[in-house]
Amino acid sequence: MEQKKLGIIGGLGPMASAQFLELLTDMTAAENDQQHIEAILYSRPNTPDRTAFLLGESSDSPLAMLRDTAATLETLGCSVLAIPCMTAYSFYEPLSRERSAKIIHPIIESARVLKKAGKKRVGIMATDGTRRVGLFQNALKAEGIEPVLPDAFIQKEIMRLIYEDVKSGKPANLERFHAAAHHLRANGAESVILGCTELSVIKHRQEIGKGFLDAMEVLAVRAIEACGYAVKDGVTLL
């Protein structure tokens, strides 16, 4: 398979983009520098907040900057694009219509991984914006999986983990994290999706245990495959 250059629409947020690059490196089957993916990270942390716009708390849409970033990466020869920000996939349709590059969709791919694993009910930890748009709910339902959503209090705790902890450069409050996961499992979730890239950062910086599907890991694996490279033996998503 022809090897392709990967473009990363990054900075949404910066720590998640750094984590994504680390995942790409860790998960690629490579014995030397030359066997790794050629990738360009365009980090644009000044991109307007996706959740604030989707909730109507800001009139500043991120779409124009996402379009500009994607177009720039294509100009630089990237034929596969990845966005290490799940909420940004609320704008997937207009972006994919306008670009010739393949945009990896980790939310749809995550639902397929869960279906293949035989999961019937899956909990969702994600931003308010991702939840409002129904990104994970719709993808799971399309695969015959019932989504399990946190109640209003737990959803606020998840947002605190994302914004007050990871985006603020602090270690996550693991008591809060595990309370959210326990709440979802108590309501019938067989697995829990880490549906925000900041939650992926928690997984890779702190010990959270098993039973989670990390949507950013799914993004990394599918990006490696789409660019014509091999995934390292032993890499598992669930």
Per-residue pLDDT of the chain (238 residues; tens, 9 = 90+): 789 999 999 999 999 999 999 999 999 999 999 999 999 999 999 999 999 999 999 999 999 999 999 999 999 999 999 999 999 999 999 999 999 999 999 999 999 999 999 999 999 999 999 999 999 999 999 999 999 999 999 999 999 999 999 999 999 999 999 999 999 999 999 999 999 999 999 999 999 999 999 999 999 999 999 999 999 999 999 9
Do domains 6-105+218-226 and 107-215 share one topology? The answer is yes
pLDDT of the residue at 151: 98
pLDDT of the residue at 56: 96
* CA 135 vs CA 87, 109, 141, 235: distances in Å: 8, 12, 10, 26
Residues of 152-171 as b/e, b for ≥16 C-beta within 10 angstroms?
Answer: eebbebbbebbeebbbeeee
Domain range summary for the chain, segments of one domain joined by +: 6-105+218-226, 107-215
CATH of domain 107-215: 3.40.50.1860
pTM above 0.85, yes or no: yes
Closest Cα partner for 8 from 34, 35, 32, 44? 44
Which sequence positions are flagged as catalytic? 85, 196
Q: What residue type is assigned to position 133 of the chain? A: V
CATH of domain 6-105+218-226: 3.40.50.1860
pLDDT of the residue at 51: 96
